[in-house]
Structure 1
Amino acid sequence: MTGIDSEARGLGPLDRDAYRRLSTKRDLLAALLITIRVAFHISLLACGTLLFARGHVWASLLILIPHFLTWSFLGWAGIGHELFHRSVFTARQPNVLLFRLFSVLTWSNYGYFEVTHPQHHRTPLGANDLEASPHERLTYMGTLALLTVDVAAIWRRARVLSLNAAGKIPTGRFATLFAPGSREALQLRNGARAVFLGQAMILATSLTLGGPYLAAAICLAPFCLTFPNRTLAALQHFNLSADGIRGRYENSTRTVVLDPVTSFFYANMNYHLEHHQFPAIPHYHLRAVHAAFRCEGAHRHIECGYWRGLALLAREGFFTAGRAPKLPFLLGR
């Protein structure tokens, strides 16, 4: 899925030659970037498992910190999102297979995302957008959970996936997309079942190869130290409004300029206005698109640096001592 591309609307800051060049997929580069991610996690897990087996418990736990901090970026707020758009590899199959694999690894129902994300791209923050909310809030206790282990998120995810796997269809606004007996409802059910089956296979394999340490390091990773991933995802659309003109995203979408390491793990999703305007352009070319946008002054909402982004969230009430509202998109993940 490449979304509603800008070719039909005019190319804005890019001319046609630049757009054609930047839309070209580079399979070797894409494979290299995926390999670096996989090797990073395998190396940390192997070292941690070895240290744990030799009795160096604290060292084995400390080595999990970078693993946990970056694992959630395999999912929908990261490289999994780009794979869904099929903009990473030239062929369709590796994009789809890796998107679904990374969804399973992050306990995410790909059958949900495959239905809701195209709606999000058509009208970000509009009436039919069941994925993003500009009114998202995070309680202080929720913040603490994201900085440690989010036990509540484990329970929510397991509960929702269980309901979906049993064929329970979300009600309310979700009924418009997941009508009983529809293809979308079957996608939701089958995706949830695939997550459980995949996680069972991962658990069994991890216990065989590395024991409880390796099993916990992989199966619990999507719920540990996820604060950077969650806050970056929130910055994409927090406190913004739906766009009045179809195909324009300046009002609804925020770009955050990050350091190269964070941008790598985030798959350049921080260039979010650029991505919404040109969803067919691979993530490894979005930095060049961003440069063109900056030259044209195309950004209405932009933050330079992660810490400035956090300051914006704090200033505009993202962190709250009260009870955070239930957000629709949380029900499907």
Structure 2
Amino acid sequence: MADTGGEATGGDGTGDGGAGPLLDRETYRRLSTRRDGLAALLLAIRVAFHVALLTTADLLFVHGQVLAAIALLIPHVMAWSFLGWAGIGHELYHRSVFSSRRLNLALFRLFSILTWSNYGYFEVTHPAHHRNTLGDGDLEANPHARLTILGTLALLTVDVGTLWRRLQILALNAAGAEPRGALARLFPPGSAEFIQLRDGARAVLAGQALLIGVCLAFGSPFLALAISLAPFCLTFPTKTLSALQHFGLTAGETPGDYAASTRTVVLDPVTSFFYADMNYHLEHHHFPAIPHYHLRALHGLFRDAGRHRHLEVGYWNGVKLLAREGFFTGGR
């Protein structure tokens, strides 16, 4: 399972889902072309955004401007989770950002570590999610998961509960504890997948320990907290956008037909940038090998062809849809 990020479906340029070809081969070839210069520029903007906010906030904190430093961290923590599976890390997993598959893989694992996410888990579960979205064996998308009031408040502040559960799971995986329930089928003890899960957890814990240690060695516990706690602070945007992908939907009757199971949300350019264009989610499911920076063009073709069954325009309209469907009124 060392390299599982290829074309889960639609790799031949058709991806018809029983409704005729979506793209001709020349269009597919053009849209699936990696543009390393553009990818590097977009990644550099992301890195510069966080570095600028972190260094400025740290200087303010050192000079006693604590409230100003914390205020400056707000956009940093809101965007940090988008480095992981809720954004560019997801696209790097699919090896679709850069032409070098090794570079994609290395960056995917690095961003997974920075967001406290076990890449060994995702590298096994995500192909299953694409093969049978919302069907048997899909452990990623839960179209019925709901938030309590306290859960929603946690997403709007600091999600201590998720932090604690993440640490527990990573510790158990790193120690080689046997997964239970549905996970036991995907990660049977002694299997390559089980070892991948264990080693991924160890890498996350070791990477975070190294990061915290370096920050403390340079005399900046503020930076250690600002980076390590970021994936659990102000995560309402990432969680709601992730929920919108499949919430309230059902598996398609025809293999490869994602119109029933997947929702596209049209976002403003800034939010779409941080989300790595994963809002064009129907398009991504049909053609996971197409780079995220080409998904907007693909979306235009899908709209012209009337391919969307579930389409929302605007982030807040999407949040209102979740509210109407009861996303904020159930149990976690």
Contact 1:3/1:122 (CA < 8 Å) preserved in 2? Answer: no
Deviations along 1:121-157, one digit per CA (max 9) or x if unpaired, are: 0000001101111101011101101100001111000
Tell me, yes or no, if structure 1 residue 106 matches structure 2 residue 115.
yes
For the 8 Å contact 2:11–2:289, the answer to whether it is kept is no
Q: Are 1:323 and 2:323 an aligned pair?
A: no
- Structure 2 Cα separation of the partners of residues 31 and 102 of structure 1: 15
Secondary structure (helix, strand or coil) at the match of 1:231 reads helix
What letter corresponds to residue 314 of structure 2 in structure 1? G
How big is each residue's C-alpha offset from its partner over 1:158-214, in whole Å with a ceiling of 9 and x where there is no partner? 000000001112211111110000000000000000000000110011123351111
Whole-angstrom distance in 2 between the partners of 1:257 and 1:171:
38
Aligned counterparts, 1:19-168, within 5 A: 19-168=28-177
* 2:304 is aligned with 1:300: no
Helix, strand or coil at the partner of 1:20: helix
1:7 Cα offset (Å): 4.0
With 198-207 and 11-20 compared, the bigger mean Cα shift is at: 11-20
Change (3 A) 1:210 1:294: farther
Relative to structure 1, the CA distance from residue 176 to residue 287 in structure 2 (aligned partners, 3 Å threshold; closer, same or farther) is same
1:2 is aligned, of 6, 16, 22, to 6
Q: How big is the shift at 1:9? A: 7.2
Root mean square deviation, CA, Å: 1.0
State whether structure 2 residue 205 is matched by structure 1 residue 201: no
2:251 aligns to what SS in structure 1?
A: coil
1:51-81 deviation line (CA, Å, top 9, x unaligned): 0001111100000000011000001010000
In 1, Cα distance between equivalents of 2:8 and 2:77 = 34
List gaps (5 residues or longer) in structure 2: 16-20
Report what 2:271 is aligned to. 262
Opposite residue 286 of structure 2, the aligned amino acid is: Q
**1:192 has 2:207 as partner:** no
Instruction: Report what 2:18 is aligned to.
Output: none
Q: What fraction of aligned residue pairs are identical, expressed as a percent? A: 65
Instruction: Find the residue that maps to 1:6 and give its secondary structure.
Output: coil
8 Å CA contact retained: 1:9, 1:247: no
Equivalent of residue 180 in structure 1, options 185, 189, 199: 189
TM-score, normalised relative to structure 1? 0.95
Task: Specify every segment of 5 or more residues in structure 1 that has no aligned partner in the other structure, as ranges.
Answer: 325-333
Match of 1:303, SS state, is strand
SS of the residue corresponding to residue 323 of structure 1 reads: coil
Contact 2:252–2:258 under 8 Å retained in 1:
yes
What is the distance in 1 between the residues matched to 2:218 and 2:43?
23
Segments ≥4 residues shifted beyond 3 Å: none
